Amino acid sequence: MATNTSGRGVVISGGGSGIGLATAQKFLEAGDRVVISGRGGPRLEAALLHLNKIPGANGRLWTVQADLASHEGAEALAKAALGYLGKIDILVNNAGLNVKERSIAALSNERWREVLGGNLDSAFLTTQAFLPTLRAQKGGLIVYINSIAGLRGNPLGGAAYVAAKFALRGWATALAAEEKPNGIRVTSIFPGEVNTPILEARPNPVTEEHKASILQPEDVASAVFFVSALPARASIPELIITPSHYSFI
């Protein structure tokens, strides 16, 4: 497989829609090479069609269908991405999900495992799959798209989602400390409400007016790109971004 060596090599999980798609667009527009992953289906296909409209994107963009909540899926993504990119400069762990059954009273064992798998296990397994390459390179940036729910527990996100996101913050903190000698930087980004397809899993429908008043995917993508643009001597462990009308207390 031929490897293109121009631009940075960027891998984005959950790249078929929302924040992942907007982040892929940002890096492609900057001339970087991008691999996006998703569980397949119409969203990943639509993302490919959309991103290929960016001038020069053809030949710098690849998709990998993978279930990152499984070891096999994460390993398949890492192998494919390394084959396409040659060098992994930036790994954006963006894959995540939520469910409608958010209260503790409504939460089943199956839904609990689904939420932890999609938000915590996927980030852990994907990171583990890429770490040998990043260690051998002696450098790289790992970005986790967390959530305000990973800092402030609230019923809106639901007990399982809050637990997964709090745990993800702990994982990222421990990872940053252990991998610092290998030149690997770690950033967790904590967005408030974002207008993405995850809103479809809200117990109550979200109005178009509300969607317009909160963060848009490109806002979070800009934060990811800002972090990635810093030199290797600089690190941002955590970054919080919220709608302007929020009170973060």
What is the distance between the alpha carbons of residues 128 and 187, in angstroms, rounded to a whole number?
16
Q: Is the pTM of this model over 0.85?
A: yes
Rounded distance between C-alpha atoms, residue 154 and residue 23, angstroms: 27
Give the phi and the psi of residue 238 in degrees, each rounded to 5: -145, 145
> What is the per-residue pLDDT for 1?
40
* 136: three-class secondary structure by DSSP: helix
CA–CA gap between residue 90 and residue 30 (Å, rounded): 14
- What pLDDT, on a 0 to 100 scale, did the predictor assign at position 247? 81
Domain ranges of the chain: 9-241
Q: d(Cα 191, Cα 147) in Å, to the nearest integer?
A: 5
User: Any idea what the Cα angle at residue 165 is, between residues 14 and 194, rounded to 5°?
Assistant: 55
Angle between helices 18-29 and 42-51 (to 10 degrees): 20
CB atoms within 10 A of CB 96: 26
Neighbours of 103 (CB within 10 A): 10
Confidence (pLDDT) at 246: 85
pLDDT at residue 154, rounded to an integer: 86
Q: Would you write out the chain's pLDDT as a tens digit for each of its 249 residues?
A: 444 445 999 999 999 999 999 999 999 999 999 999 999 888 899 999 999 999 999 899 999 999 999 999 999 999 999 999 999 999 999 999 999 999 999 999 999 999 999 999 999 999 999 999 999 999 999 999 999 999 999 889 999 999 999 999 999 999 999 999 999 999 999 999 999 999 999 999 999 999 999 999 999 999 999 999 999 999 999 999 999 998 876
- Provide the CATH topology of domain 9-241: Rossmann fold (3.40.50)
What pLDDT is attached to residue 182? 98
Catalytic site residues? 161
pLDDT given for residue 90 in this prediction? 98
